[in-house]
Structure 1
Amino acid sequence: MEATANGVMSILHKNRGRKPANALDPKLALNIIEIYEKELINYNFCHATDVLAEDKGIFVSVSTVSRHLKASGIRSPKAKRRPKKHRSRNARKREGELVQMDASSYDWLGNDSYLHLHGAVDDATGRILALHFEKEETFEGYCELMFQMNQDGHLPREIYTDGRTVFAYDSKTKKKLTLDEELTGKVERQPHFARALRETKILLIIAKSAQAKGGIERLWETLQDRLPKDMKRKGINSIEQANEFLRQYIPYYNRKFSVQAASMEKAYLPKQDLAAFQLTFAIHETRKLDSGLSFSYRGQKYRLPISKDNKEIPASPHDTITVATSKHIGMQVLFKGLVIKPEPLNTQPKESIIHISQPDNSTNCLPSETLIKPKNKTNSPWFGYTEIFYSKKLRDDISAAQLSPYQGDIIADY
């Protein structure tokens, strides 16, 4: 009836010409643009949306921010690159089954310091399990990742990483074991980190390309875009402050970017005892005991104590010991299942030959004698003897006092 009465006008929507109820307030849109241009320039639109919600209390969608910024002539600084072709693999089904590990060199603090951020990310969920800054990519930096994961109960069963010398020696240059050596149970020499993983029963897998460990590579792309801006906004300008900030940043990142694993079951290894774990992830070097049951390490002499826990240490000369060192444990000696604290020996430096100053020889030397100076001056007691000493012609015609410019009692000492 109403359609017949109004004719063609009846097909038009009643809200035509009205402002939508969910439309963004123009003043708020201008405020967003102003904040972005003044404080968030070079932030990608997704990151800018997060900062607006966290710091400014402005809760809008990424598409809303993008639409209004683009309308004002602002484009996202994040470049869109064509992805490289590679064969993908399925992510692991259980959390903790495989962890990707790597380090990224970047100007994280924005002061040309170019720190190395060491990281570990779970393959099944994309969760960050550990992050740590160091000045260089080091064995100690990766050990800090292991300590963080162990503390949180997130020790993985397998670690997937690249072929850095921290993890594996170059197979082209290292000496291969012969078949007889393998049959006798001899193990190839490994880097300290690989040896520690083997002792912890964690499998180490070496990736052949960057695409093979795409999870950690995508993490670096995200963190290099976001983390420096977040730390600058928080006033962080030192490596100590940055490592402290990472403790609260990891949970924040995981809430936003981690996904649910295909299986609800978790595959993490049991948490290890801290002291034993730090001893395993230390630098291990072998030494041999001498006849005094002592050994040298980095220019210092040490000896083993007689006993440990009221039991005599069964050490003999020429026994091989393992010296473990790190900033966490100091120095410890591993010997026949014992962990021993060595005792430093106070050894005297080797005495050099005493240089004897030449006395006034005006009365003891012949007027015509001259000193023979060797090409290389030394502290030898023979340095300074006169030419007459070597003369066969005058050998039987001179006195003892004429042989040297030194006094007779000094010559007698030799």
Structure 2
Amino acid sequence: MLGLSRSQVHRLLQAYDLAGADGLVSKKRGRASNRRHSEDFRNLVLDLVREHYVDFGPTLATEKLLERHRIAVSKETLRQWMMEAGIWVSRRERKKRVFQPRGRRDCFGELVQIDGSHHWWFENRGPKCALLVYIDDATGKLLHLRFAGSENTFDYLHATKAYLQQWGKPIAFYSDKHGVFRTTHASQQDRTSGLTQFGRALYELNIDIICANSPQAKGRVERANQTLQDRLVKELRLRGIDTIAAANAYASEFMADFNRRFGKEPRNPKDMHRSFAAHENLDRAMCRKEVRKLSQALTLRYDKVLFILDPTDLAKTLAGNKVVVCDYPDGRLEITHEGTSLPYKTFDTLRSVHRSEVVENKRLDDMLALVAEMQAGREQQRSQSGPRRTGQTDHMFGIRDGSTANGYQKRGTKPGRRTDFTNDPVVIARRQQALAQLKAAE
């Protein structure tokens, strides 16, 4: 009945006769296991965790101890050690959260969730930036990651173009109601008039975009962001990565490891990504497009720059008609009509206004030399509301605006602005010196 052998029952009976009920207790109770790690080994592991992995979870810390220190320890053993040392809090002690489950899609590429996560990805080693995340709903695999200075239209166009080149066209993207994806001025008559630039680009490629009503609705990418803010930050720290360019170079390696650990197999093996049709132009679609009316003089204005079309036979027939200005994420600008590119030259209408100096007409040489030096460094400010990206080629001057190491502008600085020498103390002093010399000569 007890499931014990006859000799064992005799031993228990003898122990009961000698010590009563206490004799039935196992002699191993309260004694350390023969396979227990020594205190020195336990202290060594905890010291390494406190020094390098104090904010790591037990599972990730176990992996890093094996990869970086060649120390093998069970994750459950490490979990107990970390809880006893006050480094880790068990799930039972955390506040429980309630989530309403939603089933995954059946096929790979059927629904791709996208989101931007603003975070201190480089901790105190670099600036705060955004990570654009593309994750498949059916498999939970990361399909594309891109670090950017901010969550804006041009970076989403650049990232989406790279995604489409690698995987093809999904059935739909699933996003939040960020201004990049959704406009509040939709039209009931024309479907395309109410689209954002990003939505218009997807519409041209026959890709739908669905906006979620709450963060919980697109929980797949939100949960992935939490994991990335834990694991990716620490991987960047361990590798000493502190720039956006270096992080983008490492992203593919991290995605491969992430998908190997956390990716799931879809219920249906069919890949729903589609190839591009013959009439679809990926490069021409992934840009900012503005419609402008061409004057009788074959000119148009965009971003406070006057564009003058070359008087070709085609351009002459378009006077008074509408053309499309294509502003690409890499800084290129193209003027097209029905898919045909129109050559042009620019004429900058911005002129800095300042009060002229009073100079005698026979003493102009020195003043003109000073004015020429000032004009060489004078600011030519573009429209602050225009679609400017730091690092893009200036439409008028063919130079690049002041940019950060990754080619994108730091937040809080005005776009398209170069150094202004008008109020520079050195320039003012030289101007006053020149005027004094002119007056002395007079």
Aligned to 2:98: 84
Aligned to 1:50: 63
Q: Structure 1's 292 and 231: CA in aligned 2 closer, same or farther, altered over 3 A?
A: same
Q: Structure 1's 155 and 48: CA in aligned 2 closer, same or farther, altered over 3 A?
A: farther
**Structure 1 letter corresponding to 2:121:** W
- In 2, distance between residues paired with 1:345 and 1:144? 26
Contact 1:120 1:128 in 2 (8 A): yes
- In 2, distance between residues paired with 1:245 and 1:188? 39
Contact 1:279 1:329 in 2 (8 A): no
User: Which deviations, in whole Å up to 9, do the C-alpha atoms of 1:112-167 show, x marking residues without a partner?
Assistant: 73211111110001111111112211112222321231232253211011111101
- In 2, distance between residues paired with 1:60 and 1:72? 16
Contact 1:333 1:342 in 2 (8 A): yes
Asked whether 1:153 is paired with 2:164, we answer: no
Asked whether 1:299 is paired with 2:304, we answer: yes
- In 2, distance between residues paired with 1:232 and 1:105? 17
- In 1, distance between residues paired with 2:328 and 2:198? 13
Q: Relative to total residues, which structure has the larger helix share, 1 or 2?
A: 2
Aligned to 1:69: 82
Q: Say which of 239, 261, 266 aligns to 1:234.
A: 239
**Structure 2 letter corresponding to 1:336:** E
**Structure 2 letter corresponding to 1:320:** K
SS of 2:270's partner is coil
Contact 1:42 1:77 in 2 (8 A): no
Asked whether 1:344 is paired with 2:345, we answer: yes
- In 1, distance between residues paired with 2:239 and 2:264? 27
SS of 2:65's partner is helix
- In 1, distance between residues paired with 2:9 and 2:102? 62
- In 1, distance between residues paired with 2:90 and 2:35? 28
User: CA offset at residue 72 of structure 1?
Assistant: 4.0
- In 1, distance between residues paired with 2:240 and 2:259? 23
Higher-Rg member (1/2): 1
Q: Say which of 314, 329, 341 aligns to 1:327.
A: 329
Residue identity (%): 24
User: CA offset at residue 236 of structure 1?
Assistant: 1.4
Q: Say which of 30, 33, 38 aligns to 2:46.
A: 33
Contact 1:45 1:65 in 2 (8 A): yes
Aligned to 2:150: 136
User: CA offset at residue 24 of structure 1?
Assistant: 5.0
User: CA offset at residue 89 of structure 1?
Assistant: 2.4
Count of residue correspondences? 341
User: CA offset at residue 80 of structure 1?
Assistant: 3.2
SS of 1:152's partner is helix
User: CA offset at residue 194 of structure 1?
Assistant: 0.3
User: CA offset at residue 318 of structure 1?
Assistant: 0.9
- In 2, distance between residues paired with 1:260 and 1:175? 38
User: CA offset at residue 330 of structure 1?
Assistant: 0.3
| 41-50 or 70-79, larger mean C-alpha shift | 70-79
State the TM-score, normalizing by the size of structure 1: 0.71
SS of 1:188's partner is helix
Contact 1:323 1:333 in 2 (8 A): yes
SS of 2:323's partner is strand
Aligned to 1:381: none
Structure 2, gaps ≥5 residues long: 14-23, 361-442
SS of 2:174's partner is strand
- In 2, distance between residues paired with 1:84 and 1:113? 34
Q: Say which of 275, 291, 300 aligns to 1:286.
A: 291
- In 2, distance between residues paired with 1:42 and 1:348? 56
User: CA offset at residue 188 of structure 1?
Assistant: 2.6
Aligned to 2:227: 222
User: CA offset at residue 358 of structure 1?
Assistant: 10
**Structure 2 letter corresponding to 1:264:** P
Asked whether 1:100 is paired with 2:102, we answer: no
- In 2, distance between residues paired with 1:224 and 1:25? 34
Asked whether 1:115 is paired with 2:129, we answer: yes
Asked whether 1:257 is paired with 2:257, we answer: no
What is the Cα-based RMSD across aligned positions, in Å? Answer: 3.7
Q: Structure 1's 8 and 73: CA in aligned 2 closer, same or farther, altered over 3 A?
A: farther
User: CA offset at residue 333 of structure 1?
Assistant: 2.0
Aligned to 1:192: 197
- In 2, distance between residues paired with 1:164 and 1:56? 44
Contact 1:104 1:117 in 2 (8 A): yes
Contact 2:336 2:342 in 1 (8 A): no
Contact 2:293 2:323 in 1 (8 A): yes
Q: Structure 1's 357 and 241: CA in aligned 2 closer, same or farther, altered over 3 A?
A: closer
**Structure 2 letter corresponding to 1:335:** H
Contact 1:284 1:323 in 2 (8 A): yes
SS of 1:241's partner is helix
User: Which deviations, in whole Å up to 9, do the C-alpha atoms of 1:51-89 show, x marking residues without a partner?
Assistant: 123222334432122123334443249883322354x32
- 1:375-390 maps to which residues of 2 (within 5 A)? none
User: Which deviations, in whole Å up to 9, do the C-alpha atoms of 1:340-382 show, x marking residues without a partner?
Assistant: 1532145788999x989799xxxxxxxxxxxxxxxxxxxxxxx
SS of 1:229's partner is helix
Q: Structure 1's 187 and 106: CA in aligned 2 closer, same or farther, altered over 3 A?
A: closer
Q: Structure 1's 341 and 74: CA in aligned 2 closer, same or farther, altered over 3 A?
A: same
Structure 1, gaps ≥5 residues long: 360-414
- In 1, distance between residues paired with 2:47 and 2:350? 71
Aligned to 1:243: 248
Q: Structure 1's 357 and 130: CA in aligned 2 closer, same or farther, altered over 3 A?
A: closer
User: Which deviations, in whole Å up to 9, do the C-alpha atoms of 1:176-206 show, x marking residues without a partner?
Assistant: 43xxxx3xx6743311000001111111111
